[in-house]
Amino acid sequence: MNLTTYFKDFENFLKLERNLSVNTIKSYRSDLKKFEFYLSKTSTKKLSFIGPEIVREFLYEQSKRVSAKTQGRIISTLKTFFNFLVLEELINDSPIENIDYPKIDSKIPLILSTDEIDKIISCAFSKKFGLRNQTIIEMMYSCGLRVSEVTEMKISNIFFDESLIKILGKGNKERFIPLSSIAKKLLYNYITYNRKNLNQDKQFIDIVFLNNRGRKLTRVMVYNIINDAALEAKINKKISPHTLRHSFATHLIENGADIISIQKMMGHENVVTTEKYLHVNKKYLVETMIKFHPRK
């Protein structure tokens, strides 16, 4: 069975109607390719032949290969896809409607201390393109940015006088984030004294962070910048760009910031997503009591 046409229509729906990001659409496409491959092995020829049993068997096969979190994402993809087919009147009912998500253990995200973050930023400065790299890490921590939000950051969206930056997040949703005095100073110095010396590609003239060819940084480059700085700082933890984002939210919680303000700054659609940082803070308090209280 050839699902290519249905997939294309579905991708257009995600892009135009749901306004999802390129990376999110890639994830949907990857999940559906797995499903298509499974269907090809079962000789399923028509959409109407795809029932709950086939879907359950596919998900069971996937459960042997992927984590519960990935299984949950695949289920979410299939639910969205089949709901789209129902909406388009290509099928009558979704075969996945009554299939539950797997139970996912809630993991406490890795958090860096302010001292560790200071060390990483300091060590980033010693590398080639040091001011740029230092500014990237500071922006990710001070503003709680995602990797894609850093690579897509625009000069025209920086408001130095107001100490604000406009970020285009998931689903092309805009949000404003305050700039700390440190982040503001680094950003200003990088743009004013460092970035202008590059041979800038006209296509990326408004992009803040550029590589040595004057083009936009890739996600992998940002990962490498952070990992190299962490190694230089001798931080013995598995750090990713998201670690800085987690640390941003947790440190705000620890210092009394309200959950709604953090939700808005992080660009979370649902406050439930932000509430996990409350649990991180509770764990921190419990660990502190056990470590220091005389009646532990």
Say how far apart CA 292 and CA 296 lie, in whole Å: 8
Query: Catalytic: which of 73, 79, 175, 242?
Result: 242
- Tokens for 222, please give them: 């940002």
Type of residue at 263: Q
Residue 242 and residue 85: Cα distance in Å, rounded? 34
Contact 36, 3 (CB under 8 A): yes
Task: Name the E strands within the chain.
Answer: 158-159, 164-168, 174-178
Closest by CA to 27, choosing from 77, 99, 101, 90, is 77
Token match 């994402």: residue? 73
Dist. CA 215–CA 200, nearest whole Å: 7
In contact, 133 and 222? CB cutoff 8 Å: no
Q: Of these residues, 184, 245, 246, 251, which one is catalytic?
A: 245
Annotation marks residue 193 as catalytic:
no
Let me know if 246 is a catalytic residue.
no
Which residue in the list 119, 132, 146, 184 is annotated as catalytic? Answer: 146
Q: Provide, for the chain, the percentages of residues in helix, strand and coil under a 3-state DSSP scheme, each rounded to the nearest 5.
A: 60, 5, 30
Q: Is 170 a catalytic residue?
A: yes
Q: Are 191 and 200 in contact (CB under 8 A)?
A: no
DSSP state of 215: -
CB atoms within 10 A of CB 106: 7
Assess whether 242 carries a catalytic annotation: yes
DSSP 30-44: HHHHHHHHHHHHHT-
Per annotation, catalytic residue among 34, 170, 219, 276: 170
**Catalytic-labelled residue, pool 119, 195, 246, 268:** 268
Residues with catalytic roles? 146, 170, 242, 245, 268, 277
